[in-house]
Amino acid sequence: MRVDKAKLKELMKNKVVRAGLSEEHADAVADVLLHADLRGVHSHGAMRVEYYAERIAKGGINTNPNVKFEKTGPSTAVLDADGGVGHYHAKVAMDEAIKIAKENGVAVVGVRNMSHSGALSYFVQQAANEKMVALSMCQSDPMVVPFGGAEPYYGTNPIAFAAPSSTGKNIIFDMATTVQAWGKVLHARSKNESIPDTWAVDENGEPTTDPFKVKALVPISGPKGYGLMMMVDVLSGILLGLPFGKQVSSMYEDLTEYRKLGQLHIVINPEFFGNAETFLETITRTMKELKEIKPAKGFDEVLYPGEPNDIQQEAYEKEGIEIVDDIYEYLASDVIHNNNYDHKDPFAK
């Protein structure tokens, strides 16, 4: 079904407020989830609300955290979220990183001891909207077999990048270091759809098209994706003194416990590296030249990174956001959660 974006945000915010979040923190959660749904990344949108609501209600997200923000150098800082909701604290940390980069040219800000923060594209877009270049990366559940391995060690460990242009459009690139994000498998399950046989493996380590038989994901491009997910784990986990690799807690292991996840934002101010206006104009030219490239067979045109999501967002702004009926019915109900996630096998139905 189709839902107006304002209505969807209200439903999502109200649900996590009823679960126990403050209005301020709940607004940030709903905003990040709405961003994902608007851009067609439904795996990180409304379908996640019930999980968050259950974890909040059971005490696995600190609703009144003792947050500490420490400047550790002219261009570096760490925000300790004390088990608080990831969406809000990652957003605050990016705001601080933007301030530092405006003053000093570069900012590297870590977030430690937070919960899941949703789509990373939201946070790099914050910086791009302020005419900054940004990278963001974070840890996730160990559910990926390392290249050559037969059991999971790392998470999907995503990376996002954004760069602004002179037109107000941003290049935005957000990827899991696996062939596909776990949320995409969940989305396929929610719609009872099959998945490509390149996404995941079953209990025997064999490729599967059945999202309900998935027992591990695989790195993108084999050893290259494996190396990238290790890099993310080092920069957003080990660097911040947090659990790493297979020590990273599962989303479902115990919903009464804080997750202690890490995230790292890197923000670069183009003004400190050359002419800022020239930079913006050159990004615009890059986007234009990419679109002028002769398309390959089977393609209508070449799109710059983030453009398919921009196109989807424009359509959803006009027509309403497409939401699975069952998810909408949950959001509109009086139920806070259905006890579906605690101690759940992450690969179970």
Q: What CA–CA distance (Å, rounded) separates 139 from 116? A: 9
Q: Which residues pair with 178 in a beta bridge?
A: 219
**Helix locations, 191-301, DSSP H:** 223-236, 276-291
CA dist 331 to 9, 46, 60, Å?
10, 8, 21
Rg (CA), the chain: 20
DSSP string of 91-140?
Answer: HHHHHHHHHHHHHHSEEEEEEEEE-----THHHHHHHHTTT-EEEEEE--
Please, are residues 188 and 195 in contact by the beta-carbon 8 Å criterion? yes
Q: Is 116 a catalytic residue?
A: yes
Best CA proximity match to 263, nearest among 98, 138, 123: 138
If residue 18 lies in a helix (H) or strand (E), which one and from where to where? helix 5-19
Helix, strand or coil, per DSSP, at residue 68 = strand
Catalytic residue, from 116, 187, 265, 337: name it: 116
Write the DSSP symbol of residue 321. E
Task: With H, G, I as helix, E, B as strand and everything else as coil, classify residue 178.
Answer: strand
Residues sharing a CB contact under 8 Å with residue 133, sequence separation 6 or more, in sequence order: 127, 161, 162, 163, 164, 267, 268, 269, 270
Smallest CA-to-CA distance from 72 within 107, 20, 47 is with 107
Q: Check residue 251 and report its DSSP letter.
A: S
The residues that are catalytic are 116
